[in-house]
Structures are given as C-alpha cells and as structure tokens.
Amino acid sequence: MSQASQRIPATLLTGDGIGPEIVHATRRILEALGAPFDWDEQPAGLGAMETHGDPLPECTLESIRRTQLALKGPLTTPVGSGIRSINVRLREEFQLYANLRPARSIVDGGRFDDIDLVLVRENLEGFYVGYEHYIPVNGDPKAVAESAGINTREGCRRIAKWTFDYAVRNGRKKVTIVHKANILKKLTGLFLESAQEIGKDYADQLTIEERIVDNCAMQLVLNPWQFDVLLTTNLFGDILSDEIAGLVGGLGMAPGGNIGKDAAIFEAVHGSAPDIAGKGIANPCALLLASAMMLDHVDHHEDAERLRKALRATIVEDRVRTGDLGGTASTEAFADALIQRL
C-alpha cells in the first residue's frame, strides 16, 4: 500500500443533504492530490431508502465488505422516530469498535489557539447503541421509557488497548480516561477499571489519569491544553467530541474515523444540514480532514500531510473560507483554491 503506484479500492457514500456537494469537492481535491483511491460509489441514506427500500442496501454493505475501506458523507437520522441510525448500523455491521476524532486548530482568531486533542470513543457499547423500549401503563403506550446501557469487559479492554497503542505510536504523552463511575458505578466503573488495568502495561510510556465526565466537559473549555488523548465511552464520546470541535471552529472542522479489525470508515462528523443543502455554501473541510485520516490509514502519510498543509494554507494564508468560518467562499470556490495550492 505504501507504493504510490498501487491503486486502493474504496467505497464512497455520498450521503444526504449537503453530502453530494462536499463529496464532489473532496473527490476533485483528492484527484488533484493524486490520491490512490479507486472509488466504488454506493447508495446510503434517505435517497437509498427511496430507491432501494433500505437506507443501507445490501449492495452497499457488500462493497464495504470487499474494499474494507470507505469514505462517507453525512447521513440523516430522524429525531425521535423513523429509521434507526445508519451510522450505528454501519459500526455494528463491521464491528468498528474505535471511533477516532482528532481536533487541531487551523482557523486563527478564535478564543482558543494551538489546540491538538484526540478523542477516542468506544463505538459499540454503552447507552448509545439504543437498547430501549416503552412500557405501557393505564392505556398510555408511552407511559415509561426504559433504556439499557451495556458495557463488556472485553469491549472496554479492547478500546483501552487500542487507545494506548495509538497514543504511543503517535508520540502522545497522556491519556485521560473519562467516566461517570461516581454514579454509574457498574456501567462506567467497569470501563474505568478495565482501562486502568490495561494502562499498567503503558505506565512507563504514558501518563494515565481519570476524569469524571462533567468535570472533563468544564475543564475542556477552561483549559483544554491540559488534555492530550481522551478515552471515553460511547455516549460521553459523542457529546465531548462535539464540544472539542467547538474549540477549533465547529463541526465543519471535525473529521472522524470508525476503525475495526477488518474495516475502516472515515467521515465528516457533522450532520446532513438540510437547511443549506443545494446552496453550494457547505464547508468540505471535515470530509477533507477525514480523507487525510484515510490516507494515513493506508500508509500514504506524505499525501495526507500535503492535503493538511494545503488546507491550512488555503484557510490561513489565502484567507479563502466558507461562511461558517467567517468567509464568503462557495464550496466549489474553496475547492478551487485548495487545488491551486496543491
């Protein structure tokens, strides 16, 4: 894979809302970069629901099974009712147990500078998996809502080891285990206990600490520089990673990777933004940064770094920015400027 001439099959999910716009811009930029991917574009999301009767059709799953690698635009998940989260289905289908969400400062002039954080979120367990139901009482079918959170020792140990290995491999110095073991003593207590147990093998390479989630949330906005890598359960990671994105310019700058033993799916963390879909003003940076993560994953580190440097130069030196970053550039104008940089 490290040979520049070797092509790499990859599945491409365009997604909903602004997905087609940011995916089109990202493909143009990756082609200009000379990225090695041979795309197999497949349906997913609300559009696939209309054409295939399933937001995640079998042809899409089969493509990812074959390529073991995918880049995904945002997929809509209805609030409160409707279809189950497609993102959760993908993670479960391919056992993508590690959710990697880095956050680095690029946009200048904000409240926080020089942010360089990585959040690793357990991706398959906890409250987020949606094991829930209603209990009818006195004729009210929704009288009681009950949800179950499930953590396994195996799952907790697996994500802890993955995180510590990632930290060592990438020259990180500290890992903070985030939990709520003061209240959820068994559910997140098991997570904390398992991570601390695995952490003993890394004590000579990393500083390992623990932090209650609400305190961690506060400390992230008071002094985010005290953190390096955060290891969290599923639901806490979903919340804290959005908070961390706010430190570096918002969700438009937030990439993510869902990684398992046999497959990896990279994505923009943000939603499908239907309110601005079709207007040509969406920010493609999160998907571009996810593409850089994808390049690193297949050992094309030089291409990944070229992409990140060109993106930073476009924003900081050329001052070409989309509206969410305080600029006026359209999605395609931003892509044009970045391609010029490449």
Give residue 122's pLDDT. Answer: 97
Note the CATH number of domain 116-247.
3.40.718.10
Convert the pLDDT of each residue in 308-325 to its tens digit: 999 999 999 999 999 999
Give residue 139's pLDDT. Answer: 95
Convert the pLDDT of each residue in 202-234 to its tens digit: 999 999 999 999 999 999 999 999 999 999 999
Catalytic residue at 128?
Answer: yes
Domain ranges of the chain: 1-99+251-342, 116-247
Taking only Cα atoms into account, the Rg of the chain, rounded to an integer number of angstroms, comes to: 20
The single residue of 108, 214, 299, 309 carrying the catalytic annotation is: 214
Q: Look at residue 78 and tell me whether its pLDDT is greater than 70.
A: no
Please name the fold of domain 1-99+251-342.
Isopropylmalate Dehydrogenase (3.40.718)
Give residue 153's pLDDT. Answer: 98
Cβ atoms of 304 and 293 closer than 8 Å: yes
The single residue of 16, 97, 180, 303 carrying the catalytic annotation is: 180
Q: Which residues contact 51 (CB under 8 A, 6 or more apart)?
A: 43
Average pLDDT of the residues in 326-331: 95
Give residue 243's pLDDT. Answer: 96
Question: What distance in Å separates the CA atoms of residue 46 and residue 28, rounded to the nearest whole number?
Answer: 24
Q: Which of 203, 124, 202, 127 is closest to 156 using CA atoms? A: 124
Catalytic residue at 214?
Answer: yes
Residue labelled with tokens 């609300």? 46
The single residue of 116, 228, 242, 318 carrying the catalytic annotation is: 242
Equal fold, 1-99+251-342 vs 116-247: yes
Catalytic residue at 242?
Answer: yes
Tokens of 90: 């993908």
Convert the pLDDT of each residue in 166-177 to its tens digit: 999 999 999 999
Q: What's this model's pTM, rounded to 2 decimal places?
A: 0.92
Q: Look at residue 2 and tell me whether its pLDDT is greater than 50.
A: no
Give residue 5's pLDDT. Answer: 62
The single residue of 238, 303, 324, 336 carrying the catalytic annotation is: 238
Convert the pLDDT of each residue in 12-34 to its tens digit: 999 999 999 999 999 999 999 99
